[in-house]
Amino acid sequence: MLNVEFTIPMERQRDCNFSFAGLQSQVNRVIVQKEKVEGIQEGQLLSCVSELAATVQYAVTAHIAKRTHRAILFCRRKNLLPQKNATLVVSGGVACNQYIRRALQIVADATDFTLLCPPPRLCTDNGVMIAWNGVERLCAGVGVLHSTEGIRYEPTAPLGTDISEQVREASIKVPALNLII
């Protein structure tokens, strides 16, 4: 039996940034501890592997849902989105996870949004998402190089204006939602 509850990442920070580093550290500590208790050898699985995976999935999902909820509330407060017929589109690997989809549906329902997710078969290829980002950047004229010399790796690909500081300053408290699915 696992009997552990992971802290939701960055729970006290009222912004929309994501980080899973703290959660990863918590999980690693629990795994090492459980391996010692169970005398696990390389290649063996913990007896609580399913519980561990479910607990991690819940923490990740709660983090994603809360950050998304705050983003929606901020955009509504600043009139950045239509008050009616607003849509939340989720794609990529996140949209392949049915548990995360259901949690985001709870957020969408609570904020009168429609949730749209492509079929999972269309959500798995990061290459397509990277290419689409390139198309958007080309259309926006942002970060387009006309010579291959000078190309450098960027860990992020910003589009538009960074409003993350405005979100942090707004310090929006997100109402609790029941994400037990």
The model's pLDDT over 101-129, given as tens digits with 9 standing for 90+, comes to 999 999 999 999 999 998 887 777 677 77
Average pLDDT, the chain: 88
Quick check: 17 and 163 in contact, CB under 8 A? no
Using only the alpha carbons of the chain, give its radius of gyration: 20
Which candidate, 20, 23, 26, places its Cα nearest to that of 34?
26
Q: Which two tokens stand for residue 102?
A: 């259901």
What pTM did the predictor assign?
0.80
Q: Place 71 in a pLDDT band, splitting at 50, 70 and 90.
A: very high
Quick check: 113 and 97 in contact, CB under 8 A? no
**CA atoms of 171 and 174, how far apart (whole Å):** 9
